[in-house]
């Protein structure tokens, strides 16, 4: 598929900036992948899953640091599983009705027909989630229902036409659901900024670092509600996106003060709240954020200033970080920091046995451990760092955490 | 894509030594590799193999060990005299406790004696001679103070019994109390007898009239009392000294600002779009004054050209850094003194003091003084005002000039040498050392450590807008030291591999707060979070009795335009024309205050101290204490 290779190239060359854009484009790509997949007669969901997984694997490999890609791939996989289950639940309902017509006189079966298709679908959905105390209790009445339905769907030979109808319905509903996902990604700013008035009140002093569209919208929303407050913007070297944010904020009439990153510690004692954007939120509640954020979070903790992370749900990553400073980081060109012309003599590789005396480190991301984050504001509301894993369980199915194409034998 | 960091050629697998270093190996490396220390080590060769232990633990104090240690307290005018007197510290309770706290770092153990004598050995002979001088100076004083002879003798009598504090019986305690009471009474008597006799322990008390003396004391420049065995005089003296430091000029006070403007030489136009929070600090349009001032060069007769030159250099940031600024200023003052002639009907002490004062106010207009400069000026004024009246102009001038030279030499140059030797003892093979900005002392520590073939790597952290670290990076790389360069935001990325953080300081305040280049606090904080020890290297003349809790009450504002323009990044022009929009302010802070709990140790020429010992150093070795 030309689309895919094109997108992979873009990812590899880091042409797509920002997790929002990446997430959106990934979702669109996967939608086209789903619509282009030819549906076999049997095991359609599995083939769809496989197709998405195959593409997803390549996409993730293209830019493993951009976690939004993986998130969206997993979301799509989750959508396929869900739609598959709900569609099979519909057929299961039909099955139940036929069963009911078969043995009407049986008193024990009376409980069965009462179950609506929606309830079955909900039950089926719950199986996608990891088991927890809550789901255990909910599942109590019908533990075997979904498996029974799928086995029933497979074993009982249905007519060809019926199956193709189900297949079309599945594909259609998956595409529908992906459209909803794209819409959700687009709308996340509004959903998040709606909550701004609850968090920003009159005469607050807010500090932010770098530029995040979510933060910008969040501050705009508070300003629109006629809250007057002051914003300190740390410029966020070496990209200096803070300058952009400051320019955008003053256009809306917000009182803005640009400070250097080094002045963060000096200024934070006068700040009421730190609001920052994130690159990704990990399952443990840790945050991958633009470089410098850990310093800011530590300073906020030192002065007991709330450290608030605003992020759309497409940034929720179901993975737990391991050595994120190194493994989920990206080193950029030293030219951001030093002038090559000025230091060319110091970077001579030949002089000292092949190893230059000088290294320049220019990482892109920082990892903020969960204990430094006071609050996450996502499009579903405010959350505690410790609650993140639960939120993630709503969006992803446990089977998709590792995206690897299954071997052909299981296909 | 290889996400893992490349293996560093210099530093092998990072094995952190936790806790105490085994003394033998440390001793072997340090004594063999540091040539300066080796001489000192040789002197103490008789003692069992000892080391520069990385953590100096205050050993139990015994007067005997103290006596046996000739190098004890290399700088300090009265400790030797205490030894001469043989009066144990327990006698003057307030003194001894303070003394204890600071002496903890020098404590009379063998280890520490080596460390200290190592420093002494590292000094040039001239310096050590200078340092000894106080001993000879104070020794004759013992005989002079006949008024307090009774106290002293009493002290002597109580001394041996009272020395081990824990063995103090009730009777003995009563005895000491009585002694103190008697001392108090004696002091009062003495005070009643002569104008300010209790203070008359200056080297030349006879030549100095009482009025001069009285004028001296309230200015906080009271001479040190080396002998005061009783608490009362000490207390009296203390009260005067404890007087809070003069409040600084607050630039949101309109009347005062108006007054200041009338006097000002430099026409500064107020910057626009000022940050509300920093109205109390001066902020001017940058770059406007320089041509104006250059024009005035030939019109100003009030200000000496050398001061004028230095002022312009401060203004245009040609000279920056605490030591460099201080030395430049002192050298300029030296020239002022050189060219000075006392006008008729005026006395040198007063007129020269006023002249220096006007020079200082010119310098302040160019750039607010650093604490180090403030201390140096205080020293100089003190010297001027304490000049004996019967000196000829020539004599007085030469004396002042030699005083200035001595200050630069001892307080800055030799002090930094001593710091280098202390600091180097904390560098082990395989260390990864981080520094921020371009502190001159830290640079010489690295250079010296590299010179004695220590194997280490340096991480230079830099920040906008001045990028001072690039200069340091260049100099270190030219020396052949392996360096990693990064910006401040990435400090938590590099901190994983760092084993020591060396920072410089503009000044250290008496609550242990380190006032330094903005961003230092961030580095110290991250290091603290990563459990990496933070060593702040600072000469003791930069200590100040002022206290500060945050970086806002007192600071210096730089040019806001430096923020909107990013050097080497032409396409970053989002903030061009920011001054037109009243909603935006750019804040370019120059300093910040690092809380003392982030500082593991302060490396000064007095030794390695915890930040809590700063007030001790200020009180005991304060700037005006040394040569008065």
The pLDDT, as a whole number, for residue A295 is 95
Asked if A266 lies within 8 A of B518 by C-beta distance, the reply is: yes
The pLDDT, as a whole number, for residue A103 is 46
Q: Determine if the peptide bond prior to B465 is cis (ω within 30°).
A: yes
Per-residue 3-state assignment (H helix, E strand, C coil) for B319-373: CCCHHHHHHHHHHHHHHHHHCCCCCCCCCHHHHHHHHHHHHHHHHHHHCCCCHHH
Question: Which neighbouring-strand residues pair with B540?
Answer: none
pLDDT above 50 (res B54):
no
Residue in chain B closest to A230 (alpha carbons) equals: B583
Nearest CB partner across the interface for B493, out of A240, A355, A361: A361
Query: In A, residues 18-77, which contact B (CB 8 Å cutoff)?
Result: 64
Residue in chain B closest to A362 (alpha carbons) equals: B486
Nearest CB partner across the interface for A360, out of B9, B482, B485: B485
Whether chain A has a CB inside 8 Å of the CB on B586: the answer is yes
* C-alpha span between B496 and B484 (Å, rounded): 13
Query: Which is more confidently placed, B175 or B68?
Result: B175
Q: In the sheet that B591-594 helps form, which strands lie side by side, from edge to edge?
A: B543-544, B507-509, B514-517, B591-594
In this prediction, residue B383 has a pLDDT band, given cuts at 50, 70 and 90, of: confident
User: Which residues of A fall within a CB distance of 8 Å from B564?
Assistant: 243, 258
A251, B584 in Cβ contact below 8 A?
A: no
Asked if A338 lies within 8 A of B585 by C-beta distance, the reply is: no
The pLDDT, as a whole number, for residue B147 is 44
CB pairs under 8 A between A and B: 191
**Interaxial angle between packed helices A2-12 and A44-62, expressed in degrees from 0 to 180 and rounded to the nearest 10:** 30
The closest of B424, B425, B427, B430 to B15, measured between CA atoms, is: B430
- Which range among A150-164, B17-31, B595-609 has the greatest average pLDDT? B595-609
- Considering the entire predicted model, what is its pTM? 0.72
Tokens of A216: 């910008």
Tokens of B7: 């293996």
Query: Which is more confidently placed, A95 or B218?
Result: A95
> Best residue in B437, B470, B487, B569 to probe A by mutation, most A CBs within 10 Å?
B487
DSSP category for residue B466? T
Cα–Cα–Cα angle for B131, B133, B134, nearest 5°?
95
pLDDT above 70 (res A265):
yes
Whether chain A has a CB inside 8 Å of the CB on B272: the answer is no
The pLDDT, as a whole number, for residue A2 is 66
B614, B512 in Cβ contact below 8 A?
A: yes
CA distance B477 to chain A (A): 6
Whether chain A has a CB inside 8 Å of the CB on B584: the answer is yes
Whether chain B has a CB inside 8 Å of the CB on A369: the answer is no
* C-alpha span between B324 and B191 (Å, rounded): 44
Q: What is the DSSP string of B500-512?
A: EEEEE-SEEETTS
The pLDDT, as a whole number, for residue B302 is 67
Tokens of B96: 């001894």
Whether chain A has a CB inside 8 Å of the CB on B522: the answer is yes
Cα–Cα–Cα angle for B53, B105, B135, nearest 5°?
120
Nearest CB partner across the interface for B575, out of A246, A259, A357: A246
pLDDT above 80 (res A222):
yes
Percent of chain B with pLDDT over 90: 25
Report the DSSP pairing between strands B500-504 and B482-487.
unpaired
pLDDT above 80 (res A275):
yes
Query: Which is more confidently placed, A347 or A97?
Result: A347
Residue in chain B closest to A358 (alpha carbons) equals: B483
Span between the terminal Cα atoms of chain A, in Å: 21
Lowest mean pLDDT among A58-67, B193-202, B314-323: B193-202
Lowest mean pLDDT among A94-103, A250-259, B315-324, B407-416: A94-103
Whether chain A has a CB inside 8 Å of the CB on B519: the answer is yes
In this prediction, residue B57 has a pLDDT band, given cuts at 50, 70 and 90, of: very low
* C-alpha span between B388 and B204 (Å, rounded): 8
Asked if B485 lies within 8 A of A253 by C-beta distance, the reply is: no
Q: Residue B513: phi, psi to the nearest 5?
A: -65, 135
The pLDDT, as a whole number, for residue B576 is 84
In this prediction, residue A334 has a pLDDT band, given cuts at 50, 70 and 90, of: confident
Whether chain B has a CB inside 8 Å of the CB on A272: the answer is no
* C-alpha span between A312 and A377 (Å, rounded): 8
pLDDT above 90 (res B14):
no
Nearest CB partner across the interface for B586, out of A258, A299, A360: A258
Q: Determine if the peptide bond prior to A238 is cis (ω within 30°).
A: yes
* C-alpha span between A84 and A74 (Å, rounded): 15
Report the DSSP pairing between strands A375-378 and A381-383.
antiparallel
Whether chain A has a CB inside 8 Å of the CB on B275: the answer is yes
Whether chain A has a CB inside 8 Å of the CB on B279: the answer is no
Query: Which is more confidently placed, B586 or B91?
Result: B586
Tokens of A66: 């951009």
Chain segment B347-364, per-residue pLDDT in tens? 888 888 888 888 898 888
Chain segment A310-326, per-residue pLDDT in tens? 999 999 999 999 988 88
Tokens of B371: 């604490």
Lowest mean pLDDT among A405-409, B227-231, B358-362: B227-231
Chain segment B505-556, per-residue pLDDT in tens? 999 999 999 999 999 999 999 999 999 999 999 998 999 888 999 898 888 8
Q: What is the mean pLDDT of residues B366-386?
A: 88
* C-alpha span between B579 and B588 (Å, rounded): 14
Nearest CB partner across the interface for A325, out of B9, B493, B526: B493
In this prediction, residue A163 has a pLDDT band, given cuts at 50, 70 and 90, of: low
Chain segment B431-440, per-residue pLDDT in tens? 999 999 899 9
* C-alpha span between A375 and A285 (Å, rounded): 10
The pLDDT, as a whole number, for residue B557 is 87
The pLDDT, as a whole number, for residue A145 is 42
Nearest CB partner across the interface for A359, out of B480, B484, B581: B484
The pLDDT, as a whole number, for residue A4 is 87
Q: What is the mean pLDDT of residues A100-121?
A: 48
Query: Which is more confidently placed, B291 or B357?
Result: B357
In this prediction, residue A369 has a pLDDT band, given cuts at 50, 70 and 90, of: very high
Asked if B525 lies within 8 A of A302 by C-beta distance, the reply is: yes
What is the CA B348 to chain-centroid distance, rounded?
A: 29
Query: Which is more confidently placed, B94 or B415?
Result: B415
Asked if B587 lies within 8 A of A253 by C-beta distance, the reply is: no
Per-residue 3-state assignment (H helix, E strand, C coil) for B85-112: HCCCHHHCHHHHHHHHHHHCCCCCCHHH
In this prediction, residue B190 has a pLDDT band, given cuts at 50, 70 and 90, of: low
Whether chain A has a CB inside 8 Å of the CB on B531: the answer is no
A328, A402 in Cβ contact below 8 A?
A: no
CA separation, residue A236 to residues A230, A247, B488, B494 (Å) = 18, 14, 10, 17
The pLDDT, as a whole number, for residue B524 is 96
Span between the terminal Cα atoms of chain B, in Å: 67
* C-alpha span between B329 and B150 (Å, rounded): 46
What SS3 class is residue A346? Answer: coil
Residue in chain A closest to B561 (alpha carbons) equals: A258
The pLDDT, as a whole number, for residue B51 is 44
Asked if A235 lies within 8 A of B564 by C-beta distance, the reply is: no
Q: What is the mean pLDDT of residues B567-592?
A: 85
Report the DSSP pairing between strands B456-462 and B500-504.
unpaired
What is the CA A281 to chain-centroid distance, rounded?
A: 8
CA distance B515 to chain A (A): 11
Asked if A359 lies within 8 A of B494 by C-beta distance, the reply is: no
Average pLDDT, chain B: 70
B459, B498 in Cβ contact below 8 A?
A: yes
The ipTM estimated for the assembled molecules is: 0.83
pLDDT above 70 (res B213):
no
Asked if B525 lies within 8 A of A295 by C-beta distance, the reply is: yes
pLDDT above 90 (res B220):
no
pLDDT above 50 (res B87):
no
CA atoms B408, B409, B410, B414: torsion sign: positive
The pLDDT, as a whole number, for residue A186 is 92
Asked if B3 lies within 8 A of A294 by C-beta distance, the reply is: no
* C-alpha span between B615 and A61 (Å, rounded): 59
Whether chain A has a CB inside 8 Å of the CB on B2: the answer is no
Chain segment B91-125, per-residue pLDDT in tens? 444 444 444 444 344 333 334 333 333 333 334 44
* C-alpha span between B439 and B189 (Å, rounded): 52
């Amino acid at each position: 598929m030309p689309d895919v290779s094109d997108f992979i190239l873009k990812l590899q060359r880091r042409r797509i900036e920002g997790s929002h854009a990446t997430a959106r484009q990934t979702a669109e790509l996967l939608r086209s992948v789903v619509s282009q997949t030819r549906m076999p007669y049997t095991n359609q969901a599995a083939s769809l899953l496989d197709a998405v997984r195959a593409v997803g694997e390549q996409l993730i490999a293209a830019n493993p640091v951009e976690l939004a890609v993986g998130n969206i791939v997993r979301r799509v996989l989750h959508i396929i599983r869900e739609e598959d289950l709900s569609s099979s639940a519909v057929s299961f309902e039909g099955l139940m009705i036929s069963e009911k017509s078969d043995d009407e006189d049986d008193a024990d079966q009376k409980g069965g027909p009462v179950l609506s298709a929606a309830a079955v679908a909900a039950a089926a959905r719950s199986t996608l989630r990891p088991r927890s105390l809550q789901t255990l209790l909910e599942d109590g009445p019908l533990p075997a229902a979904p498996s029974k339905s799928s086995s029933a769907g497979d074993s009982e030979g249905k007519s060809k036409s019926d199956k193709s109808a189900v297949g079309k319905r599945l594909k259609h509903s998956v595409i529908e659901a992906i459209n909803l996902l794209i819409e959700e990604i687009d709308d996340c700013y509004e959903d998040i900024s709606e909550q701004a008035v609850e968090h920003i009140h009159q005469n607050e002093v807010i500090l932010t670092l770098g530029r995040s569209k979510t933060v910008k919208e969040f501050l705009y929303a508070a300003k629109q509600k006629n809250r007057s407050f002051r914003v300190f913007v740390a410029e966020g070297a070496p990209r200096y996106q803070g300058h952009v944010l400051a320019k955008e904020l003053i256009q809306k009439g917000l009182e803005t003060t640009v400070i250097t990153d080094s002045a963060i510690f000096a200024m934070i004692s006068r700040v009421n709240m730190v609001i920052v954007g994130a690159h990704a939120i990990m399952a443990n509640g840790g945050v991958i954020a633009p470089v410098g954020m850990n310093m800011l979070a530590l300073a906020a903790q030192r002065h007991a200033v709330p450290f608030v992370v605003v992020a759309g749900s497409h940034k929720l990553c179901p993975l737990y970080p391991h050595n994120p400073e190194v493994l989920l980081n990206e080193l950029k060109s030293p030219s951001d920091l030093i002038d090559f012309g000025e230091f060319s003599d110091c970077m001579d590789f030949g002089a000292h046995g092949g190893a230059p005396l000088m290294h320049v480190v220019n990482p892109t991301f920082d990892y903020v451990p969960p204990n430094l984050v006071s609050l996450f504001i996502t499009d579903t509301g405010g959350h505690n760092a410790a609650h993140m894993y639960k939120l993630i369980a709503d969006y992803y199915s446990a089977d998709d955490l590792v995206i690897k194409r299954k071997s052909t034998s299981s296909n | 894509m290889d996400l893992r960091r490349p293996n560093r050629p210099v530093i092998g697998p990072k094995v952190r030594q936790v806790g105490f270093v085994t003394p033998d190996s440390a001793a072997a490396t340090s004594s063999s590799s540091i040539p300066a220390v080796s001489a000192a080590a040789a002197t103490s060769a008789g003692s069992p193999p000892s080391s520069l232990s990385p953590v100096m633990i205050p050993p139990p104090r015994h007067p005997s060990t103290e006596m046996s240690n000739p190098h004890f307290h290399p700088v300090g005018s009265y400790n030797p005299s205490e030894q001469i007197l043989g009066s144990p510290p327990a006698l003057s309770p307030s003194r001894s406790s303070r003394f204890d706290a600071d002496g903890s770092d020098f404590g009379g153990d063998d280890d520490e004696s080596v460390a200290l004598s190592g420093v002494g050995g590292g000094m040039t002979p001239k310096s050590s001679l200078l340092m000894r001088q106080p001993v000879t100076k104070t020794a004759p004083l013992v005989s002079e103070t006949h008024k307090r002879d009774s106290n002293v003798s009493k002290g002597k009598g109580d001394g041996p019994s009272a020395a081990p504090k824990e063995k103090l019986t009730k009777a003995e305690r009563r005895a000491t109390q009585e002694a103190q009471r008697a001392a108090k009474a004696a002091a009062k008597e003495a005070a009643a007898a002569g104008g300010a006799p209790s203070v008359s322990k200056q080297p030349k008390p006879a030549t100095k009239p009482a009025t001069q003396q009285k004028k001296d004391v309230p200015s906080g420049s009271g001479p040190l009392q080396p002998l005061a065995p009783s608490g009362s005089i000490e207390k009296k003296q203390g009260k005067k000294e404890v007087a809070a430091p003069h409040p600084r000029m607050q630039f949101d006070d309109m009347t005062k600002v108006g007054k200041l403007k009338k006097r000002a030489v430099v026409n500064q136009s107020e910057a626009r779009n000022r940050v509300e929070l920093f109205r109390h600090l001066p902020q001017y349009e940058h770059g406007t004054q320089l041509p104006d001032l250059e024009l005035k060069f030939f019109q100003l007769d009030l200000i000496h050209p050398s001061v004028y030159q230095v002022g312009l250099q401060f203004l245009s940031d040609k000279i920056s850094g605490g030591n460099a600024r201080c030395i430049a200023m002192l050298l300029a003052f030296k020239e002022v003194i050189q060219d000075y002639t006392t006008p008729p009907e005026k006395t040198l002490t007063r007129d020269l003091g006023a002249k220096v004062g006007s020079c200082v106010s010119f310098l302040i207009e160019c750039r607010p003084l650093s604490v180090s400069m403030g201390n140096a000026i205080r020293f100089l004024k003190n010297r001027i005002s304490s000049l004996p009246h019967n000196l000829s102009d020539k004599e007085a001038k030469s004396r002042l000039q030699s005083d200035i030279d001595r200050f630069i030499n001892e307080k800055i140059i030799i002090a930094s040498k001593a710091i280098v030797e202390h600091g180097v003892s904390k560098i082990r093979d395989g260390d990864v050392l981080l520094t921020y900005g371009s502190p001159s002392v830290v640079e010489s520590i690295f250079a010296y450590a590299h010179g004695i073939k220590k194997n280490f790597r340096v991480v230079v952290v830099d920040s906008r807008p001045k990028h001072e670290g690039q200069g340091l990076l260049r100099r270190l790389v030219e020396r052949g030291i392996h360096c990693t360069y990064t910006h401040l935001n990435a400090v938590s990325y590099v901190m994983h591999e760092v084993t020591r953080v060396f920072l410089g300081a503009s000044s250290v305040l008496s609550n242990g707060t380190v006032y330094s280049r903005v961003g230092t606090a961030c580095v110290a904080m991250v290091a603290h979070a990563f459990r990496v020890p933070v060593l702040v290297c600072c000469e003791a003349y930069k200590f100040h009795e002022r206290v500060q809790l945050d970086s806002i009450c007192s600071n210096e504002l730089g040019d806001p335009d430096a923020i909107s323009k990013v050097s080497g990044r032409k396409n970053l022009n989002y903030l061009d024309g920011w001054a037109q929009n009243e909603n935006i302010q750019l804040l370019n802070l120059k300093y910040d205050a690092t809380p003392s709990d982030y500082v593991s140790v302060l490396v000064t020429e007095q030794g390695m101290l915890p930040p809590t010992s700063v007030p001790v150093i200020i009180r005991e070795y304060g700037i005006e204490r040394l040569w008065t």
